[in-house]
Amino acid sequence: MKLSGMRNELLEEYGVEVYPMRLYRAKRKCMDAIEGNHGECYCKFPAYADVVRYHNPRSLLKLQCERLHMTSNPSLKNFFVCLEVMKTGFINGYRPFLGLDGCHLKGPYSGVLLGAVALDGNHKLFPVAWAIVDGETKENWRFFLHHLHMVLGDDSLNRLYTFMTDRQKGVIDAISEYFPEANQRHCCGHLYNNFKARFPGILLRDNF
């Protein structure tokens, strides 16, 4: 419900006029109770990583933090996750084909979710690894693919991998660095959207 709707309902039902800031705080408390508080959830990442490593020692979790100032508390920079079941499932049962992409995270903190997914025999997606990073940059794609290469190990040498990407922000160079023998393919959906943005004419669009 929007703040304007909350304000109107309180005014009609109870005859109470509530300031927008108070409505915002009340809504924020309700959302935190339903969805959880983003800040508190991020603070649980180190404990989550410890629990996963204890119960699944062959999983790979890499947490990077940084301090903006010497006296400030560390803040999250990157967090890579590949559970053992995801790794063994992909290596033992899937074709050497991985799709790489990133999406922006919603909420009070900026960030991007990077992911590597495989395709099963029913054309369903199977997650192999994911990471929360502070932006979709070449440095962060290097971070992600470096640890993905660690996860796949000898399998990346025994099989010829193919990666599908949107060709954005350093991912091509990062693949070439860590998987130099791999094939690279580009998602037609992303190419089409980029093509439409640059060439908005219907004639060119229909003949893409």
Average pLDDT, the chain: 86
Q: What is the pTM for the complete model shown?
A: 0.79
Residue 195 has pLDDT above 90, yes or no: no
Residue 115 has pLDDT above 90, yes or no: yes
Q: Model confidence over 68-82: pLDDT tens digits?
A: 777 777 788 899 999
Residue 207 has pLDDT above 70, yes or no: no
Q: Map out the domains of the chain with their CATH numbers.
A: 3-36 (no CATH), 40-203 (3.30.420)
Residue 118 has pLDDT above 70, yes or no: yes
DSSP-derived secondary structure for the chain: --HHHHHHHHHHHH-----HHHHHHHHHHHHHHHH--HHHHHHTHHHHHHHHHHH-TTSEEEEEEE-SSTTSPPEEEEEEEE-HHHHHHHHHHS-SEEEEEEEEPPSSS--EEEEEEEE-TTS-EEEEEEEEESSS-HHHHHHHHHHHHHHHTTHHHHS--EEEE---TTHHHHHHHH-TT-EEEE-HHHHHHHHHHH---HHHHHT-
Looking at residue 125, its pLDDT comes to 94
pLDDT (mean) for 171-191: 85
